[in-house]
Structure 1
Amino acid sequence: MIGGPSEYPELWEFLESLHCGECLSGTVMAIERFGVFVALDDGPAHPVFPGVGFITYAELSWERFETASDVVQAGERLSCEFLRFDTWNLEARLSLKAMQPDPFQAFAGSVEVGQKLHGTVTELVPFGAFVQVTDGIEGVVHLRDLASAPVEDPADVVHVGDEVAVVVTGIDRLRRTLSLSR
């Protein structure tokens, strides 16, 4: 723990005044392998970190990305949603993706189970293959659904970059998952 209310009263008072869902603006100060530090416009300086705001990788974007630098740049101005006060690190946990509509929900409202789609294989994993069916929307084809005969390795039937026809077998809006079959 970095410090309590008596050690950093201005920082504690500021963080306790924030409300879940509130929109906060600031500047990206540092990009690390574990997240992004943001200096908030109305916030005090942080005693240890380069900013009092922090965005985890999971809260940066709805779309898949390799590094945080694919989404934000140091010095960039952002508007983020306040998620919670992290009392251990004395920081405001933020979400950049919450400021934009979830593309999965719009997609899920436009397709139904049994619908045929076309997509591109983006990744092979031990349990199957990920297929991108539209910009930013991927679904998984499990091993059992990759071919009519049993398959032990997805590379035996598909490769990254292959164009494939798939059928929607499940849509979970809460978990944001799309199940597919070939």
Structure 2
Amino acid sequence: METPETKPEQPGEFENALREAAASGPSDDLRVGDRLKGRIVLVGDKESFLDFGGRSEAVIATRELKDDKGNLRHGVGDLLVATVESVDTQVVVTLGRRSGPLGKEILKERFESRVPVEGVVKATNKGGFEVSVGGRRAFCPYSQIDLVYCDKPESYIGQKLSFLIVRIDGGARNVVLSRRAILEEERKKKAEETEARLREGEEFEGIVSRVLPFGAFIDIGGVEGLLHVSEFSHGHVSEAASVLSSGQQVRVKVVGIESGKKGRRISLSMKALEPDPWIAAAEGLKPGAVVKGKVARLADFGAFIEIAPGIDGLLHVSEIALGRIKHPKEVLTAGEMIDVKILEVDVEKKRIALSHKALEADSRRTDERPRYAESRPRKKEPESRRPADQPGAPTESLDTLLARLKEKYEDDTLG
């Protein structure tokens, strides 16, 4: 028979087996007090594992496999009959016939060896959570449930989580847990892996840890970087919270690493992973074209108009209206939509000159001038000044006109 002496435990083998057994979850068919048969597959310093044909392996305290002198009575390959002690999140068994909550000896061993336990968050109370660990009631403070501030305690209720026992007293009546301790350890290991490949241009899958007005902090694997609001997208983003939320998964690119007196600053970008909109602009935006855009922001010298996602054009104050204005805010407001005419496009410098005044001038030439000509009153000429070929003009012959002129001359002479 193969014994523990001939098959020594490999470093990390016990912890890995524990995590795998816990992740698999207990058998749906088992209840506390049931008897089962299982074969020993691993013997650890504190705990060992039995394969009983379920979805996961059962855990048993290694001390139960030893005699009074501490020598192993059972080794790998031995078949045992044991009693189920707990099925909360993993199957825990004992060679005894007692049933009920997870034994206090096992809890103490987990505490001393810093081996995680699995628990189900049952409820919230003053200052923390009530957690069931192997049928025993335990307490986890709010500050120890996560790496970040717990602003929604109710979201944890019903979850099965891993905890470290950080305090146990009163015969295991008072058990205090911490999930944060496990997360910090995991974060430390991830940080070492991240540091090994951290450089400008590298891409990471990250988790939003905090959202602030100017941007968001992203955990890229145990290391945090700043994703400024200007790096969210090529399009305009006014508020970070309108795009991201805590816990959201994002893909980012490292665009800067700076060291200073306050430590290292890592700059991240989502925009850098998007196609450059100016490439398409080179083909689609031509001088003379009329487009609709949104007033993105106002300045003393003009207004920036977003005519496509990530493409702003400058509407100079002199090109806003036909009349003279001192500041764009006299006629424009941020967020409104207006029509503008493209005057110039410089793709290399990423500049576009726009005009709204040109559209007003075009409109006046095509619309107002005809209306003005039609509505202008015409001066009525006296009949005597009308040309002979004009309607209403005299129709006398040349002889008649000469006779009348002769009469008029003679009258003036005699008189």
TM-score by length of 1: 0.72
Structure with greater strand share of residues: 1
The secondary structure found in structure 2 opposite 1:55 is strand
Structure 2: distance between partners of 1:87 and 1:167: 46
Match of 1:86 in 2: 258
The answer for the alignment partner of 1:74 in structure 2 is 246
1:119-158 deviation line (CA, Å, top 9, x unaligned): 3445443222333434554322111111234321324444
Q: Cα distance, 1:166 vs. partner?
A: 1.8
Whether 1:103 and 2:277 are equivalent positions in the alignment is yes
- Paired position in structure 2 for 1:35: 215
Asked whether the 8 Å contact 2:233–2:310 carries over to 1, the reply is no
Match among 184, 198, 203 for residue 18 of structure 1: 198
- Is the helix fraction higher in 1 or 2? 2
1:94-125 CA distance string (max 9 Å, x none):
11111111334323431122322233445443
Note if 1:53 corresponds to 2:213. no
Bigger mean CA offset, 155-164 vs 88-97: 155-164
Greater Cα offset, 91-100 or 156-165? 156-165
Using the aligned pairs only, state the percent identity. Answer: 27
Distance between the aligned counterparts of 1:125 and 1:96, measured in 2? 27
Give the SS at the match of 2:284.
coil
- For residue 327 of structure 2, the aligned residue among 153, 158, 169 is 153
Q: Paired residue for 1:169? A: 343
Alpha-carbon separation, structure 1, partners of 2:231 and 2:333:
30
Q: What CA distance in whole angstroms lies between the structure 2 residues aligned with 1:84 and 1:119?
A: 32
**Larger Rg: 1 or 2?**
2
Q: In 2, distance between residues paired with 1:14 and 1:72?
A: 23
What is the CA-CA distance between 1:91 and the residue it aligns to? 4.1
CA-atom RMSD in angstroms: 3.0
Q: Secondary structure of the residue that 2:241 maps to in structure 1? A: helix
Amino acid at match of 1:21: G
Q: Is the 8 A contact 1:12 1:90 kept in 2?
A: no
Q: Is contact 1:116–1:168 with CA below 8 Å preserved after alignment?
A: yes
Offset at residue 163 of structure 1 (A):
4.9
Bigger RCO (CA 8 Å, 6+ sep): 1
**CA distance, structure 1, for counterparts of residue 229 and residue 312 of structure 2:** 18
The aligned amino acid for 2:269 is S
**SS of corresponding position for 2:279:** helix
Return 5+ residue gaps in structure 1 as ranges: 1-9, 46-50
Measured in 1, the distance between the counterparts of 2:302 and 2:331 equals 10
Any stretches of 5+ residues in structure 2 without a counterpart? 1-189, 357-415
